[in-house]
Structure 1
Amino acid sequence: MKKFRRATLFCLALILALGLPLAASAVGKWTEGPVHWSQARRDSSGLAPKPEETPEAVVQVYAGRAWSWRGIFGVHTWFAVKPPNASEYTRLEVMGWQLRYGSTAVRVRNGTPDGYWFGSEPELLAEVRGAEAEILIPRILAAAESYPHADQYRIWPGPNSNTFTAHIARQVPELSLDLPPTAIGKDFIPEGAVFAKTPSGTGFQVSLLGLAGVVLALEEGIEVNVLGLTLGVDVTNPALKLPGVGRVGFSD
């Protein structure tokens, strides 16, 4: 009987730990009000340096809340790179809708590096400039080309846009990229692997198809993945990591 009660209390605690943050995220999303996707903002947020004023190489990684109800749960992430003296940025991301037309889900083309993601203001997750960025850009482009799930896309639990970003980050550990807990799909290890380095390259993770797993790393801290939702603690920059809400504590 005691074991049953303990198991019941544990399940209730887990449901509350997952459900309450998601409920708070849903309320925040609901208060934004309805906007048709075609009218949602996609213009620059002003976070990226202007090419005409910045001759040096630039690498940036962004996250923006997903469109519609998906934004309750997670974000869309992407890379933006600019070689030295380039007049435009190149965006690298996965767009699932492209598969409807027989194309690859991987999209690499010139575009607005820091645009609002269908109305959601983006967050800058990482940035490298100068000589180091110049060295990293060819490796980032090569990692995008080697992404093994270019012909697949699943919102949950992956592979999706965050699986793609995590794949590049693992190939370029110099970025030390700590993806937000709301980046659902980041824990889907490509090609069905169970064990891998974390996207930051500072630790290791075990994951069962992005549905359940554990992360231990200097950058990510301690994370537990339950059905694609992340609960965790960042020890280096003290913060809680909650599903739907994201980080609560010090800035990463």
Structure 2
Amino acid sequence: MRFAIIALLILYFGPLLAQFAVYAASDPQAHWSRADRSQVGLAPDPAKEKAAVVQIYAARAYRWRGVFAVHTWLAIKGENAVNYTRYDVIGWGRALRTGIGQPDSRWVGNEPMVLFEARGDAAAAMIPKIKAAVAKYPHGGRGAYTLWPGPNSNSFIAAIAREVPGLKVALPPIAIGKDYAPDWLSVMETPSNTGWQISFAGYAGLGIGSVEGIELHILGQTLGIDFLRPAVKLPGLGRLGLSRSPVL
């Protein structure tokens, strides 16, 4: 038992300390008002891609928060639409924001990655369900955002994914808030809808699913193993091993 506890502490705090060392050695990020928000070319150009598109993105959070967390967001484009609609949950003013424009911009200087993508008929079938799920999201009002343990941007994406079974997204291990639940004890589907998890209000929990693998949730961070696409999931460092294709 003592060995197991020591191993767990090392696996939990070791990666966090390593990621913090990387952050401390990096050049300071620009003030958020001057941060790079340019596009990175991950979103299909609506002028060329006429099919419907659904994408979910993640990028490291701003400054020291990026050691522990990512910000995630969702973008959709209907068939023949000339613009994307982007949904973000942020920590000031009204939590849920809807915007028009390109979805693949850097998040306060940090480069995004695509967590999920669907195009064509599959995306077109999802879009009405996504809009309905966004409309009934219960934590989108002013003052509804809570950085830890949630509800936050990652709680939003997880909630929408649970409402739309085709959104089989694997949220990053450092997506603090993805396991948030309003009750002290909740049994619910994993965000990918491929398994089940127990959540103690987002502070701790356990989950298993074919997309997520086996996960232990501690204070918003994840320790886990993905057996189908061999990888380990560690606090701070994220997923190490084979990457999971984001394309449906």
Cα deviation, residue 27, structure 1? 2.1
**Per-residue CA distance 1:205-241 (angstroms, 9 max, x = gap):** 0000101100011100000011111100001100000
Find 1:137's aligned residue among 127, 132, 139.
127
Find 1:122's aligned residue among 104, 109, 112.
112
- Structure 2 matches for 1:19-98, cutoff 5 A? 19-34=13-28, 35-98=30-93
Separation in 2, partners of 1:45, 1:141:
26
Separation in 2, partners of 1:33, 1:60:
30
Taking structure 1 as reference, are residues 243 and 135 closer, same or farther at Cα in structure 2, changes over 3 Å only?
Answer: same
**Per-residue CA distance 1:88-134 (angstroms, 9 max, x = gap):** 11101201112xxxxx3111121320111111110100100011111
Q: Which moved more, 1:215-224 or 1:173-182?
A: 173-182
- Structure 2 matches for 1:164-175, cutoff 5 A? 164-175=156-167
Taking structure 1 as reference, are residues 228 and 48 closer, same or farther at Cα in structure 2, changes over 3 Å only?
Answer: same
Find 2:180's aligned residue among 180, 188, 192.
188
Separation in 2, partners of 1:210, 1:17:
20
Partner of 2:209: 217
Root-mean-square deviation (Å): 1.3
Structure 1: 4+ residue segments shifted above 6 A: none
TM-score (norm 1): 0.92
1:113 equivalent in alignment to 2:109:
no
Q: Which amino acid aligns with 1:26?
A: F
Determine if contact 1:181/1:242 at 8 Å carries over to the other structure: yes
Separation in 2, partners of 1:193, 1:167:
17
Taking structure 1 as reference, are residues 135 and 248 closer, same or farther at Cα in structure 2, changes over 3 Å only?
Answer: same
Structure 1 unpaired stretches of 5+ = 1-5, 99-103
Separation in 1, partners of 2:182, 2:167:
19
Q: Which of the pair is proportionally richer in helix? A: 1
Cα deviation, residue 13, structure 1? 2.4
Separation in 1, partners of 2:67, 2:230:
24
Q: Which moved more, 1:62-71 or 1:109-118?
A: 109-118
1:242 equivalent in alignment to 2:237:
no
**Per-residue CA distance 1:53-109 (angstroms, 9 max, x = gap):** 1111100000000001100001000001111111111101201112xxxxx311112
Separation in 2, partners of 1:90, 1:196:
28
Q: Which amino acid aligns with 2:180?
A: F
Determine if contact 1:62/1:123 at 8 Å carries over to the other structure: yes
Find 1:149's aligned residue among 106, 130, 139.
139
Determine if contact 1:61/1:77 at 8 Å carries over to the other structure: yes
SS of the aligned residue for 2:166 comes to: helix
SS of the aligned residue for 1:24 comes to: helix
Larger Rg: 1
1:16 equivalent in alignment to 2:6:
no
SS of the aligned residue for 1:173 comes to: coil
Structure 2 unpaired stretches of 5+ = none
Determine if contact 1:91/1:110 at 8 Å carries over to the other structure: yes
